[in-house]
Amino acid sequence: MAREVYEALLSSILSGRIARGTFLSQVEIARDLGVSRTPVREALRRLQENGLVNGEPNFRCCVLGLDPEEIESLYIKRLLLEQIAVSQASVNATATQLTDMRAAVRQLELSAGEARGADWVAAKMRLLDTLQAKLTAPLRNELSLIQQRCVRYETDNNRGIQSRRAEVLAYRETVDAIARGEPDIAATRISQLLMNQATHMLASIAPEFDLGPLAAVKSLLKVPAQIRGDGNPSRNNLSRVDPLEIANLAQDARPPRVLPKSVRGRPSDPGKREAILGAARDLFLTYGPSSVTMDRLADQAGVAKATLYACFEDKNAVLVEMVRRESELAVSDQWKSQREGGLEESLIAFGVAFLTFMVNPQLQSLERLLSGIAIRDPALGDRLFVAGPGRAMNILRALLAEAEANGQIRADSIDTAAEDLLGLWQGFLRVDVNFHQMPNPQISYLRDRAAHGVRQFLKLYGAEGDPREK
């Protein structure tokens, strides 16, 4: 109850419905909200801690509202710290941390259309936490406190669903740049997003406020050549191609999935679907599919059993979709093709995604689990293969087939070429990881390994005289 009272008062203060200088009476608030004075007292205490009211909680409190100078100060600190955070992540993040970033972006995207601000705030804080994983503990703690206040302000001054989607795009491009090892682009994208948010916030609470210090910080930001003047990545450099679309170019591409009759009809809530798949991942990896019932899965996901069956026909369908989800997190819209570097850069990006998936400790456990299932149930094993490894292999084959059609490589067999490239990437790494000789390597190492494999591959298969490679 105290939290609900706090949320109601906070929203009213941040939106301006309770003006600066207003005195708050515990008796009146309790009466208006239909609660006792105890939760009101606790809510006022929290507001005082956040600097939004002053006075003693047992007496009348005066609303301080938002101080534009304080807001500007918060965003300047956040700009500098988050630039450092994403730059460090671009060089030092581990494979597991990159996987967490991608999953957090996906969750943020799902919550963008939700009416409840709490869901959006929770998803955003989770993403921000993954992005700053390589900061030292003192910097992480300081940045987290700043972010909590900023995110709350941004949510209560939201410009609508469209602005949320723009945020999702900016964060996705930031994580993409981290995965490619481009700290300048990652820092620029996060800085441009924060600068826009700070400008909007200050314009809404103090239209006449002088943006001197904030403007000075903006002038210090370096914009890489790959970023256009409008703040968006150049389409030639960072154009997004859906790997599912590319997979359909392959001769043996998976046909469109037909939903079973029990799943047809009203579309399922994507947020609940994601919660089910997340719960399935935890339960299946911990206890194994045979020990997990649909009842237990529904309880873990926090959904009704009817909702679970509306999304999935049975437990095997959940397992298959979970595998597809993990595969798409590794090689989906985070993978960029047709970049300025041409085929080589596209293959390196794919190689980083492949190696990141391969060395993630949790995904290694998932792979062993699926191998055991395939031995016991070959039909289910085939479905799991198509959803996971087969899907990724189709994407790679399609990319190589397209390169051959464009005269960039020469290959008697696209299948053989794809297997050779995977072998160059993998080498002895899988054995090292399985024997814990190289636990959770950093992305920078995986990127160097992917680049080396691609260079060797192009020596074997590259077509001489290709103008794109000159």
Token pair for residue 429?
Answer: 């790494």
Query: Does residue 266 carry a pLDDT above 60?
Result: no
Token pair for residue 124?
Answer: 């955003």
Q: Are 40 and 7 in contact (CB under 8 A)?
A: no
Query: Does residue 252 carry a pLDDT above 50?
Result: no
Q: Given pLDDT bands bounded at 50, 70 and 90, which one contains residue 415?
A: very high
CA nearest to 126, candidates 274, 16, 248: 274
When mean pLDDT is compared across 25-34, 105-114, 189-198, 382-391, the lowest value belongs to 105-114
Q: Could you give the CA distance from residue 381 to residue 390 in angstroms, rounded to a whole number? A: 11
Token pair for residue 135?
Answer: 């900061």
Q: Are 18 and 156 in contact (CB under 8 A)?
A: no
Give pLDDT, residue 332. 64
Q: Are 236 and 325 in contact (CB under 8 A)?
A: no
State pLDDT tens for residues 342-365.
788 889 888 988 888 888 777 778
Q: Could you give the CA distance from residue 58 to residue 129 in angstroms, rounded to a whole number? A: 35
State pLDDT tens for residues 33-54.
888 888 888 888 888 876 778 8
Query: Does residue 247 carry a pLDDT above 60?
Result: no
CA 88-89-93 angle, to 5 degrees, is 120
Compare 356 and 455 and report the one with higher pLDDT: 455
Give pLDDT, residue 259. 38
Alpha carbon of 101 to those of 188, 200, 252, 339, 441: distances in Å?
Answer: 18, 26, 31, 22, 16
Q: Given pLDDT bands bounded at 50, 70 and 90, which one contains residue 171?
A: very high
* 3-class DSSP assignment, residue 2: helix
Name residue, tokens 């290709």.
466
State pLDDT tens for residues 153-169.
776 665 566 788 888 98
Q: Are 323 and 387 in contact (CB under 8 A)?
A: yes
Give pLDDT, residue 293. 92
H helix intervals, 113-182: 117-131, 137-156, 161-180
Alpha carbon of 242 to those of 229, 245, 279, 334, 395: distances in Å?
Answer: 25, 5, 26, 9, 10
Q: What is the mean pLDDT of residues 232-238?
A: 37
Q: Could you give the CA distance from residue 406 to residue 462 in angstroms, rounded to a whole number? A: 12
Q: Could you give the CA distance from residue 29 to residue 26 in angstroms, rounded to a whole number? A: 5
H helix intervals, 17-136: 26-33, 37-49, 68-92, 95-111, 117-131
Query: Does residue 376 carry a pLDDT above 50?
Result: yes
Q: Mark 429-448 as b/e (b = at least 16 C-beta within 10 Å).
A: beeebeeeeeeebbbeebbe
Query: Does residue 240 carry a pLDDT above 50?
Result: no
Q: Given pLDDT bands bounded at 50, 70 and 90, which one contains residue 56?
A: low
Average model confidence (pLDDT) across the chain: 79
Query: Does residue 282 carry a pLDDT above 60?
Result: yes
Give pLDDT, residue 273. 84
Q: Which of 54-68, 188-202, 269-283 has the highest mean pLDDT?
A: 188-202
Q: Mark 60-69 as b/e (b = at least 16 C-beta within 10 Å).
A: ebebbbbebe
Give pLDDT, residue 354. 87
Name residue, tokens 């964060």.
171
Please, what are the domains in the chain?
Answer: 2-63 (1.10.10.10), 68-227 (1.20.120.530), 262-312 (1.10.10.60), 343-469 (1.10.357.10)
Token pair for residue 270?
Answer: 């994507």
Q: Given pLDDT bands bounded at 50, 70 and 90, which one contains residue 464?
A: low
Q: Given pLDDT bands bounded at 50, 70 and 90, which one contains residue 460?
A: very high
Give pLDDT, residue 458. 93
Query: Does residue 223 carry a pLDDT above 70?
Result: no
Q: Are 62 and 55 in contact (CB under 8 A)?
A: yes
Q: What is the mean pLDDT of residues 407-436?
A: 89
Total Cβ atoms within 10 A of residue 286: 10
Q: Mark 176-189 as b/e (b = at least 16 C-beta within 10 Å).
A: bbbbbbbbbbbbbb
Longest dimension (CA), the chain: 83
Query: Does residue 461 carry a pLDDT above 90?
Result: yes
Q: What is the mean pLDDT of residues 313-337?
A: 78
When mean pLDDT is compared across 56-60, 67-71, 280-284, the lowest value belongs to 56-60
Q: Which of 94-98, 106-110, 281-285, 416-420 has the highest mean pLDDT?
A: 416-420
Q: What is the mean pLDDT of residues 315-324?
A: 91
Compare 135 and 255 and report the one with higher pLDDT: 135
When mean pLDDT is compared across 131-145, 158-172, 379-393, the lowest value belongs to 158-172
Q: What is the mean pLDDT of residues 10-31?
A: 80
Q: Are 200 and 166 in contact (CB under 8 A)?
A: no
Q: What percentage of the chain has pLDDT greater than the value 90?
A: 16
